[in-house]
Amino acid sequence: MNPQNSARGLRTRAGFRRRPTSSTGPDRAPFDRPTTSLLSESESVVTSGAIPTTNTKKASQADPGRKIQRGFPTPSPTHARESPPRLIKDSSGRNAARAISDSMAQDRIRAPKVASSTPKPTPPSSAKGEKFPKKLQAFPFVPGATSGELAKAHKFFFLPAEFVKSATSIDMIPENTAIPEVAFIGRSNIGKSSLINGLVNRNGLVKTSSKPGHTRMMNFFKIGERLSLVDMPGYGWKSRDEWGGMILEYLQTRKNLKRIYILVDPSHGLKESDSQIMKLLDGSGLSYQVVLTKVDRLSPTKYTAAKAEVEAALVEDAICCFPMVLGVSSKTKDGLDELRAAIIKAGQLSF
């Protein structure tokens, strides 16, 4: 499976897992609203005890006997033993397994003799006695966009972009359509509105401000009737309590939502509020990807270190996070084509 195409497919610490098709919108487990707003000014947000997250740490504490698999899904050795090999007849009526073993025997006969003094290869020390790695040490490799894909993505975002609607409550949002949608969330002043302007090459399409808490509504935009983009009010500093419930309800129920982009300032790294929202998304099985903003403010060395730190935290804790952190600057336009290409893949847009 191409993980890039997993529109709502999930990366788990156990690798990639396609979420059941029936699990969108209302079919998902009902979400208990946080008792404290996600958007409270302090970073200690969302304290609901009833969030249906898949907190593996807690689960293992509650039941120490229960094993939590943290690596790629691997076939159980017992299971492998339990299922007997299927006997398939080849065209000559012979047992295929026997035919294969015969040809292997011939290969052995033909193979040059290995000198008896040749030392046997030893497994790397980390793998000694540990057949199945317990957890990922890094993101699994996902190929970046090719130059052709970047060029196409660049062209796509030059299609006419327009404002559709602002919504202050869930019943005001535009009707759920067949157009794929992506949403941008993040702390106040992180650069969400500027990023949408950058992506669609229109400086004034979305209003931006140096004052945090500027965007107060969910703002819907569309590109050439093909893709919908949603700018959200920020969480954290200078945000309002009621925005949290509105944003979460939207994220939980929007059927054409293909991916949520969580914007993070690399100079500050992941904050508690970012981790909280990721846990909520993990608990609901919603696919998200982290985008580092304002990368023009960091030297390449500092940016690389900051990115590595964010990735390490995601590898450790995140479940439904797409395993590729992108970096952008709305000011210098760096990284915009990579993000455009990622959005096109997430939205499974063909052109």
Ligand X SMILES: Nc1nc2c(ncn2[C@@H]2O[C@H](COP(=O)(O)OP(=O)(O)OP(=O)(O)O)[C@@H](O)[C@H]2O)c(=O)[nH]1
Give the binding site for ligand X (CB under 6 A): 186, 188-194, 208-210, 212-215, 233-234, 293-294, 296-297, 329-331
Minimum CB–partner distance for residue 141 and Mg ion (Å): 34
Which residue is listed with tokens 């035919």?
A: 99
Minimum CB–partner distance for residue 328 and ligand X (Å): 7
Q: Which does 228 bind (CB under 5 to 8 A by kind): Mg ion, ligand X, none?
A: none
Residue with smallest beta-carbon separation from Mg ion: 215
Contact, 163 vs 223, CB < 8 A? Answer: no
| Near Mg ion in 162-221, by CB under 5 A | 192-193, 215
Q: Which two tokens stand for residue 275?
A: 């981790």
Q: Which is nearer to Mg ion, 182 or 344 (CB)?
A: 182
Q: Which does 219 bind (CB under 5 to 8 A by kind): ligand X, Mg ion, none?
A: none
Minimum CB–partner distance for residue 346 and Mg ion (Å): 21
Instruction: Tell me the C-alpha distance between 231 and 196, whole Å.
Output: 7
Instruction: Tell me the C-alpha distance between 226 and 58, whole Å.
Output: 42
Minimum CB–partner distance for residue 29 and ligand X (Å): 29
Output the CA–CA distances (angstroms, integers) from residue 319 to 162, 257, 327, 332, in the order listed. 34, 18, 20, 32
Q: Which is nearer to Mg ion, 69 or 168 (CB)?
A: 168
Q: Which is nearer to ligand X, 189 or 252 (CB)?
A: 189
Instruction: Tell me the C-alpha distance between 207 and 195, whole Å.
Output: 11
Q: What angle do CA 236, 237, 241 make, to 5 degrees?
A: 60
**Side chain identity at 132, as an amino acid letter?**
F
Which residue is listed with tokens 């079919």?
A: 27
Q: Which is nearer to ligand X, 152 or 240 (CB)?
A: 240
Instruction: Tell me the C-alpha distance between 243 and 170, whole Å.
Output: 11
| Near Mg ion in 213-272, by CB under 5 A | 215
The pairing of beta strand 218-223 with beta strand 227-231: antiparallel
Minimum CB–partner distance for residue 223 and ligand X (Å): 18
| Near Mg ion in 52-111, by CB under 5 A | none
The residue ranges that bind Mg ion (CB under 5 A) are: 192-193, 215
